[in-house]
Chain A
Amino acid sequence: MEKLASLIIIIGTFLWLFSILVLEGRWQWQMFSALVLTVGIFTAHFWEELRDTDDTEE
C-alpha cells in the first residue's frame, strides 16, 4: 500500500506539472491533479497509521 500511495502521489504531481506547462495552468486540470494527490495523501496516512496498529496487535 505504501508503493501504491507513492505511485498515486507521483502521478498526481506529474499531472499538475503537465497542466501548468502544457495546459496553460487551467484550474480544472489543476484541480483534477489535486484530487489525485488527495487520494494519494489519504492513502499514505491511512497506511502509515494503521500499519502501526497492525504491528502492535501482532
Chain B
Amino acid sequence: MARERVSQADEWQAWAQRYDIEGGIRTFESGLTVKVFFGALFVGLLMMPGAIYLNFVSGQSGAEAAPWVAVILFTELARRSFTTARRQELYMLLSLTGAAVGSGLQYRSFIWYAYFVNTPQAASYEIADKIPAWIVPAGDSVGVLTRSLLHPDWFLPIAVYLAGKLLGTLRFVSGQYILFRLTADLERLPYPMAPITAQGATALAETTGKEETWRWRVFSIGSMAGLIWGFLYIGVPSLTGVMMSQPIQILKIPWIDFTQSIESFAPTGVFALRTDFGQMLYGFVLPFPIIMTEFVTAMASQFILNPQILYRYEVLHQWSPGLDVRAVGLFNNLDFWMSYGLGKSFSLALVGIAASVPMLIKLRKSQKKAGERGSFGTPPNRGDFPIWLMGIMWLIGMGGFIWLIHWMVPNFPLSFLLGFAFLYTPINSYITARTYGVLGRDLFEIPYLHEITFILSRYEEVDIWFAPLPDEDYGRGTQGWRVLELTGTTFTSNLAGTLLIMPILLVCGIIVLHFIWKIAPVPSAQYPFAQMMWPINATNECLWKTSLRDGNSEMLQAIRGDYVSAGFTSSLAIYGILWVFKLPSMWFYGIIGGIGADPGSMVARLLGAIIGRFYMIKRFGMRRWYMFNPVLAAGFICGVGLIGMGTVAIALVSKAVIVKPF
C-alpha cells in the first residue's frame, strides 16, 4: 500500500496540536501586581544565585527549574492565604524568573575570564596579556588575585556590561515586538509551540481555585519524582561537599566515561554515559521519531562510521589509545567532525529556506482568499505600542551599541558593524521569526559567521574576539509575545515588569557572584563541573582566539572544503531520500542531530521516549498522555529545582560561616 505524503508543515503542526489541548483566550489583563513584584524580588534574591552556583557545581543552570520553583511557591502562598493567582500573574512571574536566571548566567563571564586570564593555556598561546581591560582586569591585578568583584579594578568591565545590557534591552524589546506584529498580526502565523508554555501557567493557576483538576495531581507526581532524583543527583554531592574535601557522588557528574572500554573494537568511538537521568522527562515530551533516529544515528557514528570507515581510511588520524571522551572528541572534531558539522549547518539553513519559501507563497495565496491577513489591526486592550516608537527605540539601541563596539575596537572596520546591524540582523531575525511562527523552531543559522567576518575584514588583533558583534536574532523572542497573547497578559504589564526587575538583578548578580567567588576559587574541588570542563574550554577558547593569527590557524586548518561539502551534500541527500520515500521529515532532524554525536549523552532521553511510547501511551491513551507530559515535566523540573535551591542555600550558608577555623 502506498504511503500517504504529508507536508512538513502539516507534520510538525500535527505534533504541536497533540500538546495544544485548549484554545487561547482573548481577554487581556495586567500580570504585574504587588504580589508579582514581591515574587520578582524573591527571584532576584534567591533563584539567580542558586542558578549560578548550580552551574559551577553540576553544569546545570537550573534555568528551566527556577521559574517553576518560583511559581509553585507563589501559588502555595496564594493557597495558604485563601486567595487566588491569575494565569496572567503566574505567566508574568514565570517570564520574569526566566529572565532573572538568564541574566545571572550572563554574569558568569566575569569569573570565567578571571580564570582564563591566568591559565597556562592563555599564557602559552600569548593572549593572556592581550585580553582587553573592558573584559577583565589584568591577571596580576588585586581584583583578580583577591577574587573580589567589588574591587575598583572591575569598574570598567562592569560599566561596559551595564551599558550593553541597557542598550540590549532597548533593541530586543523593540526588535521582537516589531517582528511579532509582522508575523503574528500581519501574516497570522500560528506559532504552534507557544501553547505549551501557556499550559504550565494555566495548570498552576488552576490550583489556587476552589476545584483541583488533573493538572495538580500530575504536577505533584512529577514534583515528587523530581525531589527524589534531585536529592540523589544534586543534593548528596552538594551537602557532602560542605562537610568533606571530596564530595560524594552517587552517580558521577556529569558522565561515566566508557570511551577507553570500547576502544579495542571501536577505536575513535566515544561513549560517555550522561548521568543526568532527569533527561528522561525530555524523552517523554519530545517527539519519539526524533529521539530514536538521533540515538540510532549516534550509535552508527561511533561504532561503525568512526572506527570502520573514517579511522580505517585515516580521516581520523590524531587518535591514539588511552584517551578519554574529551580528548577523543577534540581530536575527532579537528580531524573531521567540525568541518562536517559546518556543512551540516548550511544544509539546515537551505532546507529551512526550501520549506518556508513555498509556505510563504501558499500563505499569501490563502491570505488573499480569506481576507483576514494583511492587517496591522490589534486585539483591544492587548497593551500594544506604536510601531514608530519601537522603531526609534531599536535605532537608538542599535546606534548606541555600534558606538560602544567601535569604542572597544576602534580599528575594526565600521562598515562590517553597520552591515551586521542593519542588514544581517533584520534578515536573520525575520527568517527565524517566520520559522518559529510556522514550525516552532529555528532553522536558519550561518555557522562560523564571526570567523568569516574577521578573515574578510583582515583585522588581526585578538581584542575583536572579546567584543560583542551586532549580529542578533530577535526571531525566537517573538514566540514569547505570542505566549503573552495566549495567556491574556497585556504587553504593557510585561514591559513594565521587565524594566522593574532589571535593576534588582543587576545589583544582586554582582553581589552574589562576588560572594560565591570569595568562598572558593572557580574552578576548584568545590565546583566539580567547572573543574572538569573549564580547562578544556580554555584550550578551545585559545585555539579559536588565535585561529586567524599569522594565517596559521589550527582551527581554520581543521576546516577542509571536501569535508564541509560532504556534510552539506550528505545532509541534503538524506533529506531528499527521506522525502522520496515519504518518510517523516522529523527523521532528518534526528539524523542530523545524532550524526557524529555521543550516544551516551542520549541514553536517558531514549529511555524516557521508549517508556512514553510503549507504556504510557498504552496505559493512558495518546491524548491524555500528551496532556499529561508537559505538566509532568514541569512538575519534575520544579522538584529538582526545589532540591537544588534548598541544597544550594544550605551549602552557601555553611561555607559562608565555616571559612577558616581561626
Contact = CB atoms under 8 A, between A and B. Distances in A.
A36 to B, nearest CB: 9
Task: Give the 5 A-B CB pairs with smallest separation, nearest first.
Answer: A9-B576, A30-B565, A49-B358, A27-B565, A37-B572
Contacts of A6: 579-580
Interface string A10-35: 10110010001000011100110110
A50 B363 CA distance: 10
Nearest to A24: B562
Given A41-B579, A46-B358, A49-B361, A12 B565 contact: no
B566 A13 contact: no
A41 B351 contact: yes
Given A16-B570, A41-B572, A48 B358 contact: yes
Interface string A38-53: 1011101110111011
Interface residues of A, number: 30
A17 to B, nearest CB: 8
Nearest to B9: A49
A13 B581 CA distance: 13
Interface of B: 5, 7-9, 350-351, 354-355, 357-359, 361-362, 365-366, 561-562, 564-566, 568-570, 572-573, 575-577, 579-580
Contact of A9 (B361, B566, B579): B579
A38 B577 contact: no
B579 A44 contact: yes
Nearest to A47: B358
Q: Is the interface of B mostly helix, strand, loop or mixed?
A: helix
Given A10-B580, A48-B5, A50-B362, A41 B562 contact: no
Given A40-B576, A41-B350, 7 more contacts: A5-B579, A9-B573, A9-B579, A12-B572, A33-B569, A34-B569, A41-B579
Contacts of B354: 38, 41-42, 44-45
Instruction: Name, among B366, B564, B566, B579, the residue most crowded by chain A CB atoms within 10 Å (CB to CB).
Output: B579
Contact of B562 (A30, A50, A53): A30
B359 A49 contact: yes
A45 B569 contact: no
A13 B562 contact: no
Given A49-B358, A49-B359, A53-B366, A37 B565 contact: no
A38 B361 CA distance: 18
Nearest to B578: A9
B573 A16 contact: yes
Contacts of A50: 358, 361-362
A42 B577 CA distance: 14
Contacts of A44: 354, 576, 579
Nearest to A14: B573
A45 B566 CA distance: 23
B566 A34 contact: no
B7 A48 contact: yes
B13 to A, nearest CB: 13
A49 B562 CA distance: 34
Nearest to A46: B358
Contacts of B5: 2, 48
A11 to B, nearest CB: 10
